[in-house]
């Protein structure tokens, strides 16, 4: 069951590199912050799976709401002349690394407990 997110990630990368889709430069900050929000949601979902606390409806709603809100806040901040996307990058970066650390610890504990 844990392999499905990695298969989806690999397929997404493959499709992303093969399709000739480009984002206009003016939308790049909004798309990049939305991608960070999506990555944060995916890693949060993997962390929840590792902790046996995963709920599909919470994951799907959080994924789309976080992604859309991150893009909207970056756009809104840009319209006000405030670089809100920098704060969002920092916040998402911290959460991504925290989730990765929790996932890594959980996987290492599971691997070493099976070997003993």
| pLDDT tens-digit map of 28-84 | 888 889 899 999 999 999 999 988 898 999 999 999 999 999 989 889 999 999 888
Q: Give pLDDT, residue 1.
A: 65
Predicted model pTM: 0.78
Cα 86 to Cα 33: distance, rounded to the nearest angstrom = 9
Q: Is the pLDDT of residue 8 over 90?
A: no
Token pair recorded at residue 106:
């959980």
Q: Does residue 46 contact residue 5 with C-beta atoms inside 8 Å? A: yes
Q: Does residue 54 contact residue 48 with C-beta atoms inside 8 Å? A: yes
Q: Does residue 5 contact residue 45 with C-beta atoms inside 8 Å? A: yes
Q: Taking Cα atoms as reference points, which of 114, 112, 99 lies closest to residue 47?
A: 99
The tokens 């920092």 sit on which residue?
Answer: 90
């Amino acid at each position: 069951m844990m392999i499905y997110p990695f298969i989806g990630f690999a397929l997404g990368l493959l499709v992303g590199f093969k399709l000739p889709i480009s984002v206009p430069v003016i939308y790049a900050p909004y798309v990049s912050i939305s991608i960070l929000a999506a990555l944060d949601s995916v890693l949060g979902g993997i962390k929840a799976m590792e902790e046996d606390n995963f709920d599909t409806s919470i994951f799907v709603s959080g994924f789309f709401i976080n992604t859309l809100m991150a893009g909207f806040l970056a756009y809104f901040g840009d319209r006000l002349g405030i670089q809100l996307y920098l704060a969002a990058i920092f916040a998402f970066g911290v959460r991504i690394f925290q989730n990765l650390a929790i996932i890594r610890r959980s996987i290492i504990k599971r691997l070493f407990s099976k070997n003993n």
